[in-house]
Amino acid sequence: MLKGLRSPRASRFAPSTLAELAWQRTRDAASHWSFWGVGVGALVALIAFAPAAWLARGVAAATGERLLLTDPRGTVWSGSALPVLTGGPGSREAAALPGRVGWTLSWRGLGFELRARQACCINGEAVVQVKPGFGRMSATLRSAEGGWIARWPAGWLAALGTPWNTLQLGGVLSLSTPGLTLESVQGRWRMDGLAELDVVDASSRLSTLPQLGSYRLTVQGSGAASTLSLATLEGPLELSGEGQWAPTGVRFRGEARAAEGAQAALDNLLNIIGRRQGERSVISIG
């Protein structure tokens, strides 16, 4: 052997020790990925099988507990519940619609599509497209075949409290729209589109007349403020008015009158629904 040359330095670990270290590293890596796999799987399962009660809580919060989905069954994605209208937190008034409302929620592009069904009150399926975003959310209600989206008994409004529980309305509420979008931006709502809410063959326990008439409330929006318009379609009680729905609230000014020959039968009702000024009753909101 030549002088100055040294044999290679021997490894500090025996072959068996190196094999054990390699095995330990492989096991640690497998455990790490297994942990994440279990976590992701649990998250996916939680989303896929999220209970319908979660959606019910969201609806209650969004409506100030005025619309409740009671006895929820199924999941957020496919379920049913019984809709109940109330006067809000602490209210003793409540009224349920006949029959359960069912829904399916599915992904559509960058948002969701909600389809709601109810034999008593919805025309086929009510379709709402929901698009969430940063600090905003929009919901678009699509038009339905036949023109109307949903019809409800007008007596359902009594559950909202004053003045509806006093009026005890009869008749039918009918909602129609060619297309309507509600958008919330940092907690403020705006509307684009048009919606019409008809009260058909209205009646009230405050009048001796079998019917008061039929009326239409039109809401039209194209930005921050939406216009409101109330008109009489037919009947002895004549209603009219205009207003605005803005982020600061609703402002409405209108009046009610009795048609010729119906003054005596409508006098008590006119005293209740507004501020009496001679033969007319002034309606003021906001």
Q: What is the pLDDT of residue 129?
A: 92
Query: CB count, 10 Å around CB of 253?
Result: 16
Q: Is the pLDDT of residue 173 over 90?
A: yes
Q: How many residues does the chain have?
A: 286
The residues near 263 (Cβ < 8 Å, ≥ 6 apart) are 279
> Model pTM?
0.79
DSSP code, position 212: -
Tell me the average pLDDT across 244-268: 91
Residues 74-87, mean pLDDT to the nearest whole number: 94
Structure token pair of residue 280: 């007319």
Q: Mean pLDDT across the stretch 125-143?
A: 87
pLDDT tens for each residue of 96-131: 988 899 999 998 888 899 999 999 999 999 999 988
Can you say whether residue 40 is alpha, beta or left, with left for phi > 0 and alpha for psi between -120 and 50 degrees? alpha
- Name the more confident of 13 and 53: 53
Work out the percent of the chain whose per-residue pLDDT is above 90. 53
Beta pairing partners, 175: 150, 197
- Helix or strand run (H / E) with residue 111: strand 111-117
Q: Examine the pLDDT at 22 and tell me if it is beyond 80.
A: no
pLDDT score for 97: 86
What pLDDT is stored for residue 24 in this prediction? 60
> Has residue 213 got a pLDDT over 50?
yes
Q: Nearest to residue 217, comparing CAs of 246, 239, 248?
A: 239
For residues 111 and 113, give the distance between their C-alpha atoms in angstroms, rounded to a whole number. 7
Q: Is 44 helix (H, G, I), strand (E, B) or coil?
A: helix
pLDDT at 184: 79
Q: What is the pLDDT of residue 43?
A: 42
For the ranges 15-19, 68-72, 106-110, 161-165, the maximum mean pLDDT occurs at 68-72
Beta bridge partners of 222: 192
pLDDT at residue 42 is higher than 50: no
